[in-house]
Each structure stands twice: as structure tokens, then as C-alpha cells.
Structure 1
Amino acid sequence: MAKGFLDIRRMRYVLSVADHGSVSAAARALNVAQPALSYHLGEIERLIGGMLFERKPTGMELTLLGHLFVGHAAEIIDRIDEAEGDILRQSACKTMRETIRLAIIPSLASTLTPALYASFSKLMPDYSLHVIDARTAFADELVRTDKADVAVQLTEATQSSEEPLAWEDLYCVTHSSHGSGDMSLAQVAGSNLILPSSGNPLRQFFEDAARKHQLIANIHMEVDGFEPRKRVVRAGFGTTVIGARSINAEQLGPDLVARRIVEPTLQRPIMLKSRRGLAPDLRAKIREALVAAFE
């Protein structure tokens, strides 16, 4: 008796003959010529050294050896079909790729998006990235309702138990006619400040810093959104405050200057917030990619 007779194709042939009860019916179901199927059955029986079927006028009936063969063959074929299905499903998942939905405030999105895509492509190549331009309150809502997986936010580090993704210095944006170079916190607080409305994280951070140093921020005008604030500053109505990572020379243009705030230097944390139920290992990978993007 020779080993190696459990050929997958021939096992399927035997199973089909057992199911249909005749070689001719099995040949039609398999789309195989009947002489070829008969040949393969004969070869299997020759290799085994015993008969799998009794040829009767009523059809093909399994022998005791045939029942043993069919039992093992059916189990093997089922396992093969299951394995092929799992592999094909995994292949489809790799092709379609899972999407990471990242909400980020507009001022950061405008300058960091290329770095984000580069970082995620390198560190999480099996995922696609969907960047959602969303202000803090909207980003909170997206994460809370599971419409975003994570949000990059400018909140107090004390509100989280983990380290910030990064820190950024604050700058004062002024008209170029007002000079250049660093500005003290006292100078910025005393200027005609154009800041977002009350409750905005940037404004809250700046006002808290001013109060900490016995200063009162002179809020001259409330304008939400960095782009509108730039236009007001460009028109000569005052100054505004922005994080270093949101500064882009092309966006500022020749009329505006970003001047670092000193005495003291103001740094705010960039934090990560994630939706409930996000897998810890996936969150760790996302955090790693974000940290790399901020470097």
C-alpha cells in the first residue's frame, strides 16, 4: 500500500460519487469526463489496495473501507474550505483596509495633515486615515457618538492621566508694520486682542495664563476661527494668539508676523481623546503615529 493517495482533487471525486450514487452523475456534477473519473477512482483503489465502492445495478455503494475514506475525506475537505474562506476574507479586509477617523481642530489640520498621512502610511500601513476638520466641541461630539475614533485636542494635561502627544509654544500674530521679534506676555495681554469666543480652549488657556501672572487680557474683539481672525489682524484692528504648530508662512503672507510669547514662554499640551470601546492596542498604535507626526 502506497502513501500519498489522499490527493485533494481525488478526495472530492470520491465524495461526489458517494453523494450521487453513480460515476456518470458525479462526472456531470464535477464537469469531468466519465472515463477520466473512472480512471481516478481506479487509481485511488489501486494505491489503497482495496475497494471503495461496490458496483451494483442500482449504483455505487460504499464499502466499509469506502465509509472510512469518505469520513476522513469529508472532514479534510471541510477544513480546507474553511481555511480558504478565512484566508479570502482576510485578504478582502487587507484590500479594503480599516479606516481610522481622526478629528482635529482646523488650525492644526491646515498644517499637519501631510505629516499625519506620512506617519500613518509608515506606521499603520494596513489602515487608511480619514482626517475630519472639527473644532473642539464638534470633535467631542464626534468621539462621543462614535463618529470619530480619536480626536486631537488642545486641553489641559491635568484632564488626562497620560502624557501629551506634544507641546507647543504660543505666538502672537501681529501686522508686520508693528515690528517683529518676541513679545512679553504683558505686551500681548495689553494689546487689542482678537480671540475666539468665551469657552474656546485657546482663549481659556491664554486668559488663565494672564491671570496667573496678575494680568488681564484686553479682549478687543471676539472672532471664531483662525482664518477670520487673520483677516481682522491684517486689516489693522489688533493682534491674535495662535499655537506654533498652526503657523504657516504661506498662510500668514507678507502682511502678518508670528511673534513668540515670552516672559514667560507659554506652552499648551496637545492631547489625544478616543471613543469608548476603542481597542487599547489600536489606540496605542494611533498614538505612536500621532507622536511621530508631531516630531
Structure 2
Amino acid sequence: MIDLRQLRALCAIAEHGSVAAAARALDWSQPTVSHHLAGLGRATGAVVVESSAAGTSLTTAGRLWLPHASAIVDRADRALVEVAATLESGRRTVRFGVFPTAAARLLPGLVAALDAAGLVPDITEGELDVLHSALDRLELDAAVVYAAPGSPRHGGRRSGSGVTRTPLFTEHFSLVVPSLHPLAGSAAVRLAELSGERWVVGTLDDDPVDVAFRSAAVQAGFEPLLGPRSDDYRVVVEYVAAGLGLAFVPELAVPVGRDDLVVVEVEGPVLAREVSLATAPTLAPELRELMVRALA
């Protein structure tokens, strides 16, 4: 059985480079550090550290253990803090992540639901890679995420890290044009009619939304002309309002109450992405259901 002290010893060696320095950092004796490192080696079936004149370093087995050890030690330390804080305040903190374009529309209802249930929300806004990494490290209890256009749905899927995805809704992309654009008064347009227009797109050529859009445009008979670039949809819509191009914007990011922008319907298949609630394996099922109801 793995002992948490074995993992703390390994992390201390990785950080400080010697048994003596690790012992000082942990406020243990050197024999205690060596004892726990040897115990982890026995559990692993291979020694996890090796000593030389330069100090003590991790073996291949130790390096394989290190990210797991760091995550487990961090989670244990946070658990102590969170349990103590919950017992003192009577309110549990729920750490929730959301991608920026969804925050304004989804957070008010979610925060209200958590507050009504006696929970304290701790909100993190970040892009998908940040949210997924935080979930894998159990630094978040749950997060709203999305699958890129054309990707399969992930409803109910449990990943290797134990994260479960529950479908919330399908978010369509809307065509946003300046209010003075000739198409602004159209009830609907075909994608082929947009040949020759400039487009505001993301900063990366492999952005999944832009890749899907370019593919649809090519099928409609034209190669999009690229204008300004931004990954922030707030900036994207300002570029559109300034007449610098058209853009497909996700529904959650479409601005409301503006007279300088118009949303125009596009006939036929449109861009869409599946939005889901991703939850860590440590989140209670009843809390996941509360979140799903508040978000859906």
C-alpha cells in the first residue's frame, strides 16, 4: 500500500536534490526520508532514487512516479484545508471552471443555484486546455467545456482520468454582420452568397472552428478572404462592427442590444459545437445533477 509520506519524500528529493535537503524541508530525519523512499521502491518494484557525488536524483521509476506523487500530495493538502474550512464555515467550496464566452450567460444561474444549496462557488475562467488540465489534476470539481464543430458528442463518457461529461446543449454559430452591410436586411442567405467577403477569424490556422468554416466555404465554392484575427469574441464583434469583416460567433458570445451589428440566418448546415459539463470523479452525483439543471 502506498503511504502519502513516501510520495512527499519523492517530491522533496525532486525539488531539493539530496536526502539531507529533503529532510530539512520536510522537518524529518534523513533516515526517515530514506525509509519512505525505500518503501516506495518496494511498492513499485524498482528503486525510485539514486545517489551520486552530485546528490540524489530520481530514477526512471521515480520520474514516472513524480507527476502522480505531486498531484496526490497537492490534493491531500487541499483536502485538509477545504475540510477544515467547510467545518468552520458550514459551507463547502465548489471549484468551477468555464470558458470565457460562456461565463456571462451561464454563471449567474449556476452561482445562484449553488448559493441556494449552501455552497460557495470558486470560479475559474480559462480556455479548454487550461480547464481540462485542471480537471485532470482535480484542481476543479467541474467545468463547462465544448467539443469542436464536427467532433463527436462526449455525453456520459468517462475519460482515463475519471472525468465524466454530461451533455448540456448544442451551441450554434451565428453570422454577424455590420448593420450597414448590404446583407443586414436579409432574412436568410446561403453560404455561397458570401464569396468575396472578408472574415474575422482566430489567430491560429488550425483553430477547429475556423477549420470547419473553411471546409464549409470550400464546399460552397469559395476560399474565404481573411481579415483581422482574434481569439477573443468580444474583439471579433468589434472588428465586425467597424466594417473589417464578417464573422461566425457562438450563440453565447453574440452581443445583445447593439444597433451596429445584425445577426443574419444562414441557410443549410451551420457551424455548431456540443457544450457539456465535465465533472471530476470526486464530485458527488447529486451536486452534478444540481449543476446540470442550473446550466441546461
Contact 1:272/1:287, CA 8 A, preserved across alignment: no
- Distance in structure 1 (CA, Å) of the matches to 2:171 and 2:202: 18
Q: What does 1:143-222 align with in structure 2 at a 5 Å threshold?
A: 143-156=135-148, 158=152, 160-162=154-156, 164-178=167-181, 179-180=184-185, 181-188=187-194, 191-198=197-204, 199-210=206-217, 216-222=223-229
Instruction: Output the amino acid matched with 2:171.
Output: E
| TM-score of the aligned structures, taking structure 2 as reference length | 0.57
Structure 2 SS opposite 1:273: strand
* Gap change, CA 1:290 and 1:207, over 3 Å in 2: farther
Contact 2:214/2:223, CA 8 A, preserved across alignment: yes
- Distance in structure 1 (CA, Å) of the matches to 2:292 and 2:201: 27
Structure 2 SS opposite 1:264: coil
Larger gyration radius, structure 1 or structure 2: 1
* Gap change, CA 1:96 and 1:240, over 3 Å in 2: farther
Contact 2:94/2:141, CA 8 A, preserved across alignment: yes
CA RMSD of aligned residues (A): 3.1
- Note the residue ranges of structure 1 that are not aligned, 5 or more in a row: 1-88
Task: Report the structure, 1 or 2, having the larger helix content.
Answer: 1
- Distance in structure 2 (CA, Å) of the matches to 1:170 and 1:241: 6
The Cα of 1:103 is off from its aligned counterpart by 1.4
- Distance in structure 1 (CA, Å) of the matches to 2:215 and 2:93: 38
Structure 2 SS opposite 1:154: strand
2:119 to 121, 127, 134: 127
Q: Percent identity?
A: 19
The aligned residue for residue 137 of structure 1 is: 129
- Note the residue ranges of structure 2 that are not aligned, 5 or more in a row: 1-82, 157-165
Structure 2 SS opposite 1:237: coil
* Gap change, CA 1:189 and 1:246, over 3 Å in 2: farther
| TM-score of the aligned structures, taking structure 1 as reference length | 0.57
Structure 2 SS opposite 1:146: coil
